Amino acid sequence: MVVTVDLAELGGFWLTANYFPEIAKLDHTRCPPLADIAHALRPCRVLPIPIPHDCTDGFLAAYWRRPEAYLDPAVRAGISSLVLLDRAVVTRGVARLRSDLDSGVWHERFGHLDRADALDVGYRLLITT
């Protein structure tokens, strides 16, 4: 079994798409494409790993329904993608997120997520036989 991420899906996650698009560039240097991994492990099954709304593990998408968590420096310190970004990039993304939360823009765009129990942002489980 291998846990990985489909970078195309992760790039569409609201946090990476709207506040930290630099994560997609960074992750392309750190993670091979899902198709390459699946090819190397073939035959294998590729299964989505939906992230529950109350996930507390602290990885990048753990707080998808609790965007305020990403404003907390202690939370960000536990997310490798954010730690590896340039400090100015993180500061800019956090400021944009804070502004959108304060103004209600985030909730206008993504408030529908409050009704979801889990979200597929691209994490995948590959099982080979």
pLDDT tens per residue, range 37-61: 888 999 999 999 999 999 989 999 9
Parallel, antiparallel, or unpaired: how do β-strands 44-48 and 51-52 relate?
unpaired
**Which of these, 16, 12, 10, 19, lies nearest to 101 by C-alpha position?**
19
Its pTM stands at 0.89
27: pLDDT strictly greater than 90: no
Whether the ω angle into residue 32 lies within 30 degrees of 0, i.e. cis, is no
Task: Report the SS3 class of residue 17.
Answer: helix
Please list the residues that pair with 121 across neighbouring strands. none
What pLDDT does residue 104 have? 98
24: pLDDT strictly greater than 80: yes
Mean pLDDT of the chain: 94
2-128 carries CATH number 3.40.640.10? no
